[in-house]
Amino acid sequence: MSRQWIVHAAGPGLTLQDQGRPGYLPVGLSRGGAIDQLALFEGAALLRQDVSMPAIEMAGMGGTFEATADVRIALTGAPMQATVNDQRLEWHASHHLPRGSLLKIGAVKAGNYGYLHTGGGLDVPLQLGARSTHLGAGIGAPLTAGDQIAIGEDQGPEFAGARLRIEERFHGGEVRMVPSLQTHFFAEDERKRFEATTFQRDMRGNRMGVRFVPDGEAFRSDAGLSVLSEVIIPGDVQISGDGTPFVLLAECQTTGGYPRIGSVIPSDIPRIAQAQPGCAMHFRFITLEEAVTIEQNEAIRRQALASTCEAMRRNPHDIPDLLAYQLISGVTAGDNPERTKS
């Protein structure tokens, strides 16, 4: 039987996501891809595979999955309830999953978007150079119960049972932004007030963007209503007609007419995307030079994530059928001669 996932139950927001499809701005198609790009790097580090492989993004709620072969998985992004055959699975970690076992992923415990990564990735066809679903453009569609997803050939089937210590990004906090093409539409006082304001993440939010509500007065630009539509970049903080900020994310429009006060740097977009409704958020301007340095350091950190993975130590009392578990899933990674043949 071919290696695949069978989706037995699916929450409403399950989509295949990767690093997205750059290069289609001139024809009106935004990059898309995983809302929390950092999670893709974490999944790749935990499975020691390439970051370009697609994962299953789960908005708010997971699903029930069965693999038709032994697989490795990693769970990243917003932590969710997860069990395999009713045994609890650690999040921000990689695991061996024996063929036929039922992986159940429930609701988020914090944050919004969790990710299920598979050793070997998912063997779905490229569409316009990527495998990610773009809901706004109608490329692909959410996963539903009964779907079957082919699993790619796993180049490193031994390695799993690792965990990553991650920097918390699921409860709001402070994000940094750079001045951008329309920041000059906002008076300096208005920009200062923006930085001093506490915002609450609104109920309204999806893969296109997220609304924030200020604890004080609405914001206004000096540009008036006659501004020409201009290029939008994910991370842009647009001040909508009601004077509240809307931070644009992976599936944003490619152009827009609302003035934008600044642009959240890519390193901090996961914090925006993962803030649950009600979370408090602050915005702070940094210079372009500071942003470049931050992004350079973050790129280096992401490349080195694999070296920071730690082996998980398990308490044998937590494993009900210890013998079977070790035989099938090989948590000792790499020293089981029977596993090297496949």
Choice between 138 and 316, CB closer to another protein: 138
The answer to whether 114 and 76 are in contact (CB under 8 A) is yes
- State the nearest-atom distance from the C-beta of 230 to another protein, in Å: 5
Nearest approach in angstroms of CB 282 to another protein is: 19
Q: Which residues bind another protein (CB under 8 A)?
A: 22-29, 127-128, 136-139, 178-181, 228-231, 233, 235-236, 253-256, 263, 265-266, 288, 291-292, 295-296, 299
Burial of 287 (0-12, 13-18, 19+ CB in 10 A): exposed
Q: Are 311 and 161 in contact (CB under 8 A)?
A: yes
Least Å from the CB of residue 326 to another protein: 43
Phi-psi region of 306 (alpha: psi -120 to 50; beta: other; left: phi over 0): alpha
Please, which residue, 89 or 128, has the CB nearer to another protein?
Answer: 128
Closest CB 30 distance from another protein, rounded Å:
9
Determine the Cα–Cα distance for residues 14 and 124; give it in Å rounded to an integer. Answer: 15
Minimum distance, C-beta of residue 267 to another protein, in the bound complex (Å): 9
Query: What is residue 136's three-state secondary structure?
Result: coil
Q: Which two tokens stand for residue 36?
A: 């929390």
Q: How far is the CB of 292 from another protein (least distance, A)?
A: 6
The Cα–Cα gap between 258 and 42 comes to 34
DSSP 71-112: EEEEEEES-EEEEETTEE--SSEEEEE-TTPEEEEEEESSSS
Least spacing, CB of residue 217 vs another protein, in Å: 25
Cα-only R_g, the chain: 21
Q: Which is nearer to another protein, 222 or 321 (CB)?
A: 222
Residue closer to another protein, measured from CB, 1 or 27: 27
Sheet strand arrangement including 63-67: 87-88, 80-84, 102-108, 63-67, 4-10, 148-150
Between 9 and 128, name the residue whose CB sits nearer to another protein. Answer: 128
Q: Which is nearer to another protein, 21 or 96 (CB)?
A: 21
Question: Distance between CA atoms of 170 and 79, rounded to whole angstroms?
Answer: 9
Q: Between 25 and 166, name the residue whose CB sits nearer to another protein.
A: 25
Instruction: Answer for the pair 64, 86: CB distance below 8 angstroms, yes or no.
Output: no
Q: Choose between 59 and 178: whose C-beta lies nearer to another protein.
A: 178
Q: How far is the CB of 156 from another protein (least distance, A)?
A: 28
